[in-house]
Structure 1
């Protein structure tokens, strides 16, 4: 099915010493979209929930003298035409969101030929939300009560996180209120773009049960596209040309038909102090609800470069990357404020990537800009395949070849994931129509090869702080309360619970006098703290 890699000196890799960093294969899933026309010739058959079979079209068999044979390909799971968007999310993205909330990174991308259903899988449609909106919804359903106030946690320009005190955060909130276009207010579902409203049925809402209640969370999103191997920020506000301003007499500049918008400037990739790649100068918006995150995403989505081709009326001409960054900061011993130490903040991110479809220019009849775009798309996908091939060869043959991540912005941006910074998942989307057979076969070969690549399992990054002791004391109090209620027997109502709590509180040692009259008193507060912590 896949031609085996040839090694100069075939040998097994040297046995490695036991390590805490175990490896997991890249998770590859296959999604088959329905045929556009019922009586159209089909080249794909779902054999089981893990296997599909490709059939060469009759015309191709006749022309190639039976060169193409039926071939089977296996995946972690095959999702057929009856698979709902909710089932797709449960299998693929939900575990990554769970990891995100537990401070682990994840990378999920869709791959396939043009018109295979990649964007529908990632974004969805009204009533059939895809992986991206469902991931956002699950995040906010889980951390909703534990979110930090806006601007308490802030991203810096070096892919790090800063902590502001409550006063500074309040001043910044008041300052931003006078600039409504800078930080969008949380809209209602009715105010959302009708194409993007009501993506998810409330009955299908998901959440993570085990959320650290002694931490505070903030969510930041960014949205970029990689077009002709240049990176552009889809959330960046395009400034107007200052040379051609026009005024309407009221002191407010208005854009006129002849006023030019300054073209967006491409961004560069940089490496932070932890050797992770990031897009320098990229807009990161703090969002506080699913609806607000939807609005930010849709604002960037409208700027994506699409075009009409022979294969797809709205064909993506760029790779899009939506990054969800979750900052988790421990609370102080009282559980009231975030610790003012940025080194205690844990940052994890989930990257959702909608790759542009590979295509043959002979079929799309591309010319001019479309031809150039197709060439850059195919070149970047070829680099991705080359990186996967080299990774596979290094692991299977014990070689140490350099992986050419830098040959493309797509692979360079995500090199850390293949080096062990998080789980990697790929959804291979296929169109079963016979016309796509040869392109689909290439996609299948690449997908099967990708499954043979193993990625180091990331190490857990526990958060340090003083909250654990408070959490243990609270749990001990709850356990003792439950035991006393069980001893009493009978129904557990509000009156009986209050009675037992009153008894427990009476058993506590009396508090010493806590009034401080002398500014040099260094006895009263320590004595009170000792009693409360006992």
Structure 2
């Protein structure tokens, strides 16, 4: 009775699914045991047995709404986890509005979350099964965007999230390109089975290949839910992810960055808009109007190609973000005058798995992603623990779901709201703010591997279970220790007399009660200090974030001031340099003008000197000088001649003309002699050296 009351008061219906061991894997020690229920009821309790590693840890028992053992298949989870009531609540009753639904998976990385929620190449997941039931239930009342002319405009006008509404045909042609392509690219990966190899998905900037065949197992063609036969429906699909505590649209193509040459998406805001002043929505999402289930599945495949995955030591295709798949059901009454669209939405969330850096062997950007994932899951655990105590507490405890984007998106629509309350809602749920809305109905499926990591699995179970109790404590309690010490002291003390059992028990119980009261007061004080420290930590983190923003603003202002000062300095230096350069150019031109003036004056002075200097007959002077030398040479030759040779006429009696002819003859004779003898005429003259008496005779005659 107590368990059922807790389950009704909880914001989530929490189910546990145990992953079967892969075939061929060595069976290790199993630390999870499912307790057998009674009266043919489904199992709801498990026992967590810690391994024998010399650490004193207690055996714990956890309670869930229902436990699905290893032999459970996808169809068992579909019927047992309440997916059909979620779809029926989204469609709404006859003449009424629907209720928002939330389906989420939680677990350690590699425990089977993605396989449960998205399926594999051969089996459909809970997402595909929910879409199948939804489209078949409203097949007669759904509006096709290809045939309804005003559908696109009216849906876009009634959407409060400032969304970019597109038809499925336009979106699929943009993403998949040629519709005749039959081959299919590998989709975003579920958790791989043994023997399967993972191929990375193609780059989202290229056209995807249209799927040739989609899995049809398990078959639920005979399953439908009730829908409003007097209403018209329109289905809008949107997808986004929470990556590093920021929201990104998975159906909007990434924008190339010119500086880094990579592709990035613009983060979206979770805020209130003009049409939803009392509820927050993810503004700016791209939403696709789908008329058939195949179009919705192709949109799902396109969005999964954009989701961030990476290989780690724990999982080769580990999700690095929390994925949100939103199916929005628009509904209006059939009439000649179309009314405004209303409706609700089914949000399916594939949470990233918690992981330990030592086991996953992450580093760099992948390690930072794991830190953000674990932080958001820690806040989620705190919210789950507090929401499970709402029905048992007399004081109104507030769930701190605004600590991160993940908890805000999951829990914001889990409380009743009216048009006068400012309570945010799950993103992408767009009801009229004039009517009160019921809180959403939420289902969470926790996946666990009984043969996996004990520490990580126990942590997930502690803050996701609806109830927990310690069954076999391995650490001795304080009360038992006090009882043992007091009993031994009273029974075996040599000074004290033998006491009766009644007095001993009374005294030991009084001592134990005092010790328990003291420890309770100490625990209450520690809890108060812990709450105060948590509040201070939140305030300090908020102050740190504000100061970080302020520092960035100051840095931007300082950079702008430095840039402006540098520009002014550069302009001043440029002006000074131009002035100096013009001054140097003027000086250079003045110096060149002076040099030209001096050169011109020197040329004019030279020309005046030439005009004033008398012209001499240089050729005449040179000729006279030559004649003097020749006369001197002839005189020496005459003086050096022998007296035995014929006498010649004195030189003074020779005529100048005869002298010239005589000199010419001597040149000719001298040249012939030089040629005949091969010697030089100078040597010839030296051989005919004049004697003393010859010299004396000549001198006397001349005198």
Q: Structure 1 length as normaliser, TM-score?
A: 0.67
Aligned CA distance change for structure 1 residues 24 and 177 (closer, same or farther; 3 Å) = closer
Q: 1:439 aligns with which of 429, 432, 456?
A: 456
Determine the C-alpha separation between the residues in 2 that align with 1:177 and 1:127.
Answer: 26
Determine the C-alpha separation between the residues in 2 that align with 1:198 and 1:179.
Answer: 19
> Counterpart of 2:355 in 1: which secondary structure?
coil
Q: How much has 1:233 moved relative to structure 2?
A: 0.5
Residues 16 and 446 in structure 2, CA contact (< 8 A), matched pair in contact too: yes
Q: How much has 1:199 moved relative to structure 2?
A: 2.3
2:304 match: 301
1:210 aligns with 2:226: yes
> Counterpart of 1:28 in 2: which secondary structure?
strand
Aligned CA distance change for structure 1 residues 409 and 230 (closer, same or farther; 3 Å) = same
Q: How much has 1:212 moved relative to structure 2?
A: 1.8
Q: Which runs of 4+ in 1 moved over 6 A?
A: 176-180, 183-191
Q: How much has 1:279 moved relative to structure 2?
A: 1.0
1:376 aligns with 2:372: yes
Deviation readout 1:339-393 (Å, 9 max, x if unpaired): 4321xx3211011001111112222222111111111001111111222334445
Determine the C-alpha separation between the residues in 1 that align with 2:358 and 2:121.
Answer: 34
> Counterpart of 1:418 in 2: which secondary structure?
coil
1:99 aligns with 2:67: no
Aligned CA distance change for structure 1 residues 217 and 182 (closer, same or farther; 3 Å) = farther
Determine the C-alpha separation between the residues in 1 that align with 2:230 and 2:174.
Answer: 31
Determine the C-alpha separation between the residues in 2 that align with 1:323 and 1:134.
Answer: 14
Residues 256 and 264 in structure 2, CA contact (< 8 A), matched pair in contact too: no
Residues 56 and 437 in structure 1, CA contact (< 8 A), matched pair in contact too: no
Q: What pairs up with 1:322-401 in 2 under 5 angstroms?
A: 322-332=325-335, 337=336, 339-342=337-340, 345-401=341-397
1:33 match: 19
1:117 aligns with 2:112: yes
Q: What pairs up with 1:39-438 in 2 under 5 angstroms?
A: 39-48=27-36, 49-56=42-49, 60-64=51-55, 67-92=56-81, 93-102=83-92, 103-150=98-145, 152=151, 154-156=154-156, 159-160=159-160, 181=173, 197-201=213-217, 203-240=219-256, 260-272=261-273, 273=276, 275-332=278-335, 337=336, 339-342=337-340, 345-420=341-416, 421-433=439-451, 435-438=452-455
> Counterpart of 2:248 in 1: which secondary structure?
strand
Residues 11 and 414 in structure 2, CA contact (< 8 A), matched pair in contact too: no
Aligned CA distance change for structure 1 residues 185 and 381 (closer, same or farther; 3 Å) = same
Determine the C-alpha separation between the residues in 2 that align with 1:47 and 1:290.
Answer: 40
Determine the C-alpha separation between the residues in 1 that align with 2:53 and 2:111.
Answer: 26
Q: How much has 1:43 moved relative to structure 2?
A: 1.5
> Counterpart of 1:211 in 2: which secondary structure?
coil
The structure richer in helix per residue is 2
Q: How much has 1:125 moved relative to structure 2?
A: 1.1
Pick the structure with greater CA Rg.
2
Q: Which moved more, 1:441-450 or 1:180-189?
A: 180-189
Aligned CA distance change for structure 1 residues 393 and 214 (closer, same or farther; 3 Å) = closer
Determine the C-alpha separation between the residues in 2 that align with 1:440 and 1:89.
Answer: 23
2:561 match: none
Deviation readout 1:20-69 (Å, 9 max, x if unpaired): xx966521100000123252222122223323434535xx42421xx234
Aligned CA distance change for structure 1 residues 417 and 190 (closer, same or farther; 3 Å) = farther
Q: How much has 1:319 moved relative to structure 2?
A: 0.5
> Counterpart of 1:414 in 2: which secondary structure?
helix
Aligned CA distance change for structure 1 residues 399 and 357 (closer, same or farther; 3 Å) = same
Q: Which runs of 5+ in 2 are unaligned?
A: 1-7, 37-41, 93-97, 188-210, 417-438, 470-703
Aligned CA distance change for structure 1 residues 341 and 192 (closer, same or farther; 3 Å) = farther
Q: How much has 1:265 moved relative to structure 2?
A: 0.8
Residues 64 and 466 in structure 2, CA contact (< 8 A), matched pair in contact too: no
Aligned CA distance change for structure 1 residues 265 and 186 (closer, same or farther; 3 Å) = same
> Counterpart of 2:264 in 1: which secondary structure?
coil
> Counterpart of 2:349 in 1: which secondary structure?
strand
Aligned CA distance change for structure 1 residues 178 and 330 (closer, same or farther; 3 Å) = closer
Q: How much has 1:428 moved relative to structure 2?
A: 0.5
Q: How much has 1:417 moved relative to structure 2?
A: 2.7
1:479 match: none
Q: How much has 1:207 moved relative to structure 2?
A: 4.1
Q: Structure 2 length as normaliser, TM-score?
A: 0.51
Q: Which runs of 5+ in 1 are unaligned?
A: 1-21, 163-168, 245-258, 453-534
Q: How much has 1:205 moved relative to structure 2?
A: 2.4
